[in-house]
């Protein structure tokens, strides 16, 4: 069985344990690991099938799990490209979120940040999604291009509405971009991983044996990930706006207006720094689903009452 699948399937961590686990996997040093170190760690885990992260007496085993879980895709055992590893998500998206929500008079000023944000999110979702179904590279490329373009357009809707309608209500002006960012981020996940719902993903028994391909499991995996992404971007955009609203009423802002940008950027990075591991931890990495909720051909292929699938990040 693939070591990463075995880990997520057998550890059965609580939400707090998953959160603490993700704080380690999101360590930026995981972006600079050499291929040689990763391969050695993988070999160690493959030769020690009973190895558990709770083997506190074996620091080498702990480090091997950290390297494997943070760099290798559980479905195909391939290395995840450095810029799309989970540890790269925060450094890439936090500045984009900040620039996407900056109040500007010209629509042209936000096109590049919006396009960069949704293009990166699209690629991240496709690469870190479930990869157990058959797909051709050109299909992923075409799907990604279409999703990037469409979600960028919808992401610009808040700026278009504010420009055309000249909204006066401050509550509407501040919350509209937050709502649209959160909802479009969720739609981005659903659209970029739409093949999982239409073609089905692998479902396994507790021994890791593939029972079949389930569209219902794919739909659940995408839905759960989209929900976590809505919470991530919605919260990360809302809290800085709330802080900024009150900061504008202080003497410090009146004396140093430029400090508002510093506050919003710092607040965005800090909130996302907390929300990224939290959102990744809401649902287990390896999901469980009752066999009775799956397609009839899968129910007839096994006597297991519960099956497993890779939810993706």
What secondary structure letter does DSSP report for 48? -
Q: Quote the pTM value.
A: 0.92
Which burial class, exposed, middle or buried, applies to 215 when counting CB atoms under 10 A from its CB (0-12, 13-18, 19+)? middle
Q: Tens digit of pLDDT per residue, the chain (313 long)?
A: 788 888 888 877 789 999 999 999 999 999 999 999 999 999 988 887 666 555 545 788 888 999 999 999 999 889 999 999 999 999 999 999 999 888 766 777 888 999 999 999 999 999 999 998 888 889 999 999 999 999 999 998 888 887 777 777 778 888 889 999 999 999 999 999 999 999 999 999 988 889 999 999 999 999 999 999 999 999 999 999 999 989 988 888 888 888 888 999 999 999 999 999 999 999 999 999 999 899 999 999 888 889 999 999 9
Q: What local confidence, expressed as pLDDT, does residue 56 receive?
A: 44
Residue 80: which of 127, 130, 33, 120 has the closest Cα?
127
Across the beta sheet with 306-310, the strand order is: 210-214, 201-204, 306-310, 286-290
What secondary structure letter does DSSP report for 291? G
* Dihedral sign from CA coordinates of 44, 50, 53, 57: negative
Cβ atoms of 210 and 204 closer than 8 Å: yes
Residue 69: which of 35, 88, 42 has the closest Cα?
42
């Amino acid at each position: 069985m693939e070591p990463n699948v075995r880990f997520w399937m057998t550890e059965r961590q609580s939400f707090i344990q998953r959160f603490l686990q993700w704080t380690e996997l999101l360590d930026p040093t995981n972006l600079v690991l050499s291929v040689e170190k990763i391969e050695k760690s993988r070999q160690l885990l493959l030769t020690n099938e009973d190895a558990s992260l709770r083997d506190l007496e074996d620091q080498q085993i702990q480090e091997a799990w950290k390297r494997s879980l943070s760099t290798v895709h559980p479905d195909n055992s391939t290395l995840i490209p450095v810029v799309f590893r989970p540890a790269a998500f925060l450094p890439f998206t936090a500045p984009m979120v900040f620039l996407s929500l900056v109040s500007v008079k010209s629509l042209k000023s936000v096109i590049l940040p919006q396009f960069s944000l949704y293009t990166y999110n699209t690629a991240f979702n496709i690469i870190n999604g479930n990869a157990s179904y058959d797909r051709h590279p050109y299909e992923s490329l075409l799907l990604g291009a279409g999703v990037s373009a469409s979600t960028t357009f919808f992401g610009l809707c808040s700026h278009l509405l504010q420009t055309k309608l000249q909204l006066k209500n401050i509550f509407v002006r501040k919350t509209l971009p937050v709502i649209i960012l959160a909802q479009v981020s969720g739609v981005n996940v659903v659209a970029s991983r739409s093949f999982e719902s239409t073609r089905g993903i692998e479902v396994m028994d507790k021994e890791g044996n593939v029972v079949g391909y389930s569209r219902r499991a794919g739909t659940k995996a995408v839905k759960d990930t989209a929900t976590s992404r809505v919470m991530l971007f919605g919260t990360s955009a809302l809290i800085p706006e709330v802080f900024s609203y009150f900061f504008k009423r202080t003497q410090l802002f009146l004396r140093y207006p430029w400090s508002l940008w510093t506050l919003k950027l710092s607040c965005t990075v800090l909130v996302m720094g907390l929300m990224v591991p939290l959102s990744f931890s809401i649902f287990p990495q390896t999901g469980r689903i009752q066999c009775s909720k799956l397609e009839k051909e899968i129910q007839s292929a096994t006597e297991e009452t519960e099956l497993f699938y890779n939810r993706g990040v």
